[in-house]
Amino acid sequence: MNGIRPVSILIAALGGEGGGVLADWIIAAATAQGFPVQSASVPGVAQRTGATNYYLEVLPVARAALGGREPVLSLVPFPGDVTLVAATELVEAGRMLQAGYVSPERTLLVGSAHREYAVSEKAAMADGRYRTERIVASARALAREAILFDMAVLAARHRTVINTVLFGAMAGSGGLPFSRAVCEDAIRATGKAVAASLAGFAAGFDAVSAARARNDVAAESPIEPPPQPGARLPHTAVPMAADALAGPSAEPAADEPPPGPRGARVAGLPPALRAIAAQGVAQVLDYQDLDYADRYLDRVESVLGTEQAHGEPDLPVTLAVARWLALWMSYEDVIRVADLKTRRDRLARVRREAGAADDEPMHLTEFLKPGLDELCSVLPGALARRVRRRWGARGGQGGVPLHLRTSTVSGFALLCVLRGLRRWRPRTERYAREHALMTRWLDAVRGLLARDAAAALELARCGNLVKGYGETSERGHRNLTAILDDVAARAEGSEPLAARIARARDAALADPQGQTLARALDLPPPALVEQPLRFVRRPAPG
Instruction: Confirm if 26 and 40 have CB atoms less than 8 A apart.
Output: no
Position 250 pLDDT exceeds 50? no
One-letter amino acid at 26 equals I
pLDDT at 132 over 70: yes
Show me where the domains of the chain are located. Answer: 7-213, 334-427, 428-526
pLDDT at 285: 93
Distance, in Å, from the CA atom of 191 to the CA atom of 144, rounded to the nearest integer, reads 35
Residue 423: pLDDT over 80: yes
Q: Measuring CA to CA, how many Å separate 303 from each of 113, 231, 260, 523?
A: 41, 19, 23, 30
Say if CB 51 and CB 14 are below 8 A apart: yes
Task: Look at residues 155, 153, 239, 241 and name the one whose alpha carbon lies nearest to residue 197.
Answer: 155
Q: Are 329 and 438 in contact (CB under 8 A)?
A: yes
What average pLDDT does range 173-191 have in this prediction?
93
Q: Which residue has the higher pLDDT, 159 or 259?
A: 159
Give the side-chain half-sphere CA count within 13 A for 462: 33
**Position 359 confidence tier, pLDDT thresholds 50, 70, 90:** confident
State how far the alpha carbon of 352 is from the alpha carbons of 102, 251, 345, 348, in Å. 37, 17, 10, 6
Does 223 have pLDDT greater than 50? Answer: no
Alpha-carbon gap, residue 316 to 438, rounded angstroms: 19
pLDDT digits (tens, 9 = 90+) for 38-50: 999 887 654 445 6
| Residue 229 CB partners (closer than 8 Å, separation 6+) | 276, 316, 319, 320, 322, 323
7-213: CATH architecture: 3-Layer(aba) Sandwich (3.40)
Q: Which SS3 state, helix, strand or coil, does residue 473 take?
A: helix
Q: How many residues does the chain have?
A: 542
Tell me the mean pLDDT in the region 7-28. 91
Please enumerate in sequence order all residues whose Cβ is within 8 A of that of 459, keeping only pairs 6 or more positions apart, or say none. Answer: 441, 444, 445, 448, 483, 484, 487, 501
Mean pLDDT of 165-178: 94
Q: How far apart are CA 508 and CA 483, in angstroms?
A: 9
Specify the DSSP class assigned to residue 302: H
Are the CB atoms for 58 and 82 separated by under 8 Å? no
Q: What are the pLDDT digits (tens) for 282-326?
A: 999 999 999 999 999 999 999 999 999 887 788 999 999 999 999
Side chain identity at 244, as an amino acid letter?
A
How far lies 260's CA from each of 204, 240, 266, 287, 294, in Å?
Answer: 48, 34, 10, 18, 12
Q: Which of 56, 58, 138, 132 is nearest to 104 (CA)?
A: 138
Mean pLDDT rounded to a whole number for the chain: 84
Helix runs in 158-251, H state only: 162-173, 180-190, 194-213, 241-245
* Predicted local confidence at residue 8, as pLDDT: 95
Q: What pLDDT score was predicted for residue 50?
A: 60
Residues 6+ apart with CB under 8 A from 279: 232, 233, 254, 255, 326
Q: Which residue has the higher pLDDT, 273 or 390?
A: 273
Percentage, residues of the chain above pLDDT 70: 87
For 19-28, 212-221, 401-410, which range has the lowest pLDDT when averaged over its residues? 212-221
The pLDDT, as a whole number, for residue 233 is 37
Number of Cβ within 10 Å of residue 199's Cβ equals 20
Local structure of residue 388 (DSSP, 8 states):
I
Whole-structure pTM value: 0.70
pLDDT above 60: residue 228 = no
Longest dimension (CA), the chain: 90
236 versus 135: which is more confidently predicted? Answer: 135
Number of other CB atoms surrounding residue 126 within 10 Å: 14
Reported as a single tens digit per residue, the pLDDT across 365-421 is 888 777 777 788 888 888 888 887 877 655 555 667 778 888 888 888 988 988 888
Exposure pattern of 22-50 as b/e (b: 16+ CB <10 Å)? bbbbbbbbbeebebbbbbeeeebeebbee
* Whether the Cβ atoms of residue 154 and residue 207 lie closer than 8 Å to each other: yes
236: left (phi over 0), alpha (psi -120 to 50) or beta: beta
Calculate the alpha carbon distances from 141 to 97, 113, 136, 301, 329 in Å: 10, 16, 9, 50, 46
Name the residue type at position 525.
Answer: P
- What pLDDT, on a 0 to 100 scale, did the predictor assign at position 392? 65
Q: In this model, does residue 71 exceed pLDDT 80?
A: yes
- In this model, does residue 242 exceed pLDDT 60? no
- The mean per-residue pLDDT over the stretch 244-252 comes to 37
Selection from 293-302, 345-354, 389-398, 505-514 with the highest mean pLDDT? 293-302
**CA gap 16, 161 in Å, rounded:** 9
Q: Are 40 and 75 in contact (CB under 8 A)?
A: yes
Does residue 457 surpass a pLDDT of 90?
A: yes
